Amino acid sequence: MSTHVFLDGRLLESTQATVSITNPAFLHGVGIFETLRAYHGRPFMLDAHIARATRSAETLNMPVSEAIAQVPSAVAQVLAANNLTDARIRFTVTPPSPQNAEEGPTLLVAADVTAGHPQELYDKGMTTYVCDTYRQSRYDPSAGHKTTSYLPRLLALRAAQERGCGEALWFTPEGWLAEGSISNVFFVKDGMLRTPPLDTPALPGVTRALVLELARADTLPIDESPCTLKDLLEADEVFLTNAIMELMPVTRVERHPIADEKPGPVTHRLHSAYRDRVRVACASG
């Protein structure tokens, strides 16, 4: 955790930061959050994360616009106060408490040092777990939104880690591949880049959107149509995306190898293009 955080308009030492016991996130898990990375002290794609948070707040009827408006300044203050360059940033917003609406919405911004995941994982690829307990349903009003009601995802991720896997893959009750607990899923088959459509449902990942943009620039064919576990297991390449891991190759789904169990050329090419975009957006000089 940061030594300094931004909470409700003030930069504070993290040990001094507190929220009310009537905060809706504390009582009922009512809130939204975003996680992103900073490179060379500059947050990457912050505007896109703010836009997604704003859309979720509007859809979920959370009156937090005044808190979200403070995010750019708050992020800059937290990075500076903690002397961070390469960092993991999280901002959390919660609506006013019904018991005390005068308090207004809550904004918390914190950051920690990160260099992403170990290079060995990118070289060898990650193993994933097929989650058979938690299912993503289009009838869940929180589906497609990054809310603070995160326990099912954490439990699924813990189950994956207990089995020596780095991520848990979620499916719908109908058997369609949706997403990972903390990531979006892509795979390549016969030169076609495939990913589940957002209405599966899947989180509209900021990194997911950028990867699709980079793929189009590379004239790579794209298919956003429903996918099955069979489609995934028969893929030539599989990778996961989120803001912290960037593009993570997957070379095994539990005990099933993906192709030759090596990160593939399309994954490498798109990850290289992604890091080129980072270098341009977060140049250090």
Can you tell me whether residue 252 is helix, strand or coil?
strand
pLDDT tens per residue, range 11-43: 999 999 999 999 999 999 999 999 999 999 999
Between the alpha carbon of residue 267 and those of residues 47, 140, 197, 217, 271, the distances in Å are 25, 32, 19, 15, 6
Check whether 132 has a pLDDT greater than 90: no
pLDDT range class, residue 138, cuts 50, 70, 90: confident
What's the rounded Cα separation, in Å, for the pair 124 and 105?
Answer: 44
Overall residue count recorded for the chain in this entry: 285
Percent of the chain with pLDDT over 70: 98
The reported pLDDT for the residue numbered 137 is: 81
- Residue 25, both tokens: 């996130």
State the pTM of this model: 0.95
Q: Are strands 192-194 and 246-253 parallel, antiparallel or unpaired?
A: unpaired
| Domains of the chain listed by start with CATH number | 4-113 (3.30.470.10), 119-281 (3.20.10.10)
Query: Stretch 73-102: mean pLDDT, rounded?
Result: 93
Sign of CA dihedral 237, 274, 167, 46: negative
pLDDT in tens, 165-201: 999 999 999 999 999 999 999 999 999 999 999 999 9
Q: pLDDT band for position 100 (50/70/90)?
A: confident
Phi/psi of residue 197, nearest 5 degrees: -70, 155
The tokens describing 114, both together, are: 């990160």
pLDDT tens string 223-277? 999 999 999 999 999 999 999 999 999 999 999 999 999 999 999 999 999 999 9
